[in-house]
Chains A and B, each alone.
Chain A
């Protein structure tokens, strides 16, 4: 059974701070990793995809992948109240999702 573990929440950060979300996965052969954001009462939407070891930056978001440690993270710089949501990580052909980490950014 392939599994995804996300850091337990909820996570609260002040506005302007860096939010750090972490995820470990069980499948050593996975090549694709994804972060989705889900606002309350809404469906998930893709924020980042990452396929190679290292960092990938997109605006205020940075995804970090370490395949040897089976670890992927998402950093949100200059956090805004609009970033308050649940963040889901997924791997494989997006068949396996974590339970999500709830993030609240406090104004």
Chain B
């Protein structure tokens, strides 16, 4: 199993659909992250979970809803998205705690909103 696995790798959805992105890490880490990567823009932090508790929400619109049932799994539930939400969504994990340490990224889920 690779370190951080994301599914699906590609997703096309309409503005009224509901879908979910899934992330699983096999590294024994305690922190998991969602980042958004759009062309010509900095990698943008969305959410951070430390030991299953959400510790960061970077003013993300409510149409993005994260879920972290345990330290190995992270979901991003999507509903009523806008075309400008089309981007690469990257999941990452780290050891967690006060010092983040190295981030290990998944391959990303490429989202297109029509």
**A67 shortest CB reach to chain B, Å:** 17
Q: Is the CB of B102 within 8 A of A46?
A: yes
Chain B residue nearest in CB terms to A6: B42
Whether A4 and B90, one on each chain, are in contact in the complex, defined by CB atoms closer than 8 angstroms, is no
Known A43-B90, A43-B108: A94·B40 in contact at CB below 8 Å: no
Interface size on B, residues (CB 8 A): 19
Q: A42-B107, A43-B106, A43-B108 are in contact. Are A94 and B41 (CB under 8 A)?
A: no
Q: How extensive is the interface on chain A, given as a class?
A: 20 to 34
Residues of A within 8 A of B106 (CB): 43
A-B contact list, 23 entries, CB within 8 Å: A4-B42, A34-B103, A36-B103, A43-B105, A43-B106, A43-B108, A44-B43, A44-B90, A44-B103, A45-B105, A46-B102, A46-B103, A49-B102, A88-B43, A90-B43, A93-B100, A94-B94, A94-B103, A95-B58, A96-B42, A97-B44, A98-B42, A99-B42
Residues of chain B having any CB pair with chain A under 8 Å: 40-45, 48, 56, 58, 90, 94, 99-100, 102-103, 105-108
Q: Which residues of A contact B (CB under 8 A)?
A: 4, 32, 34, 36, 42-46, 49, 88, 90, 93-100
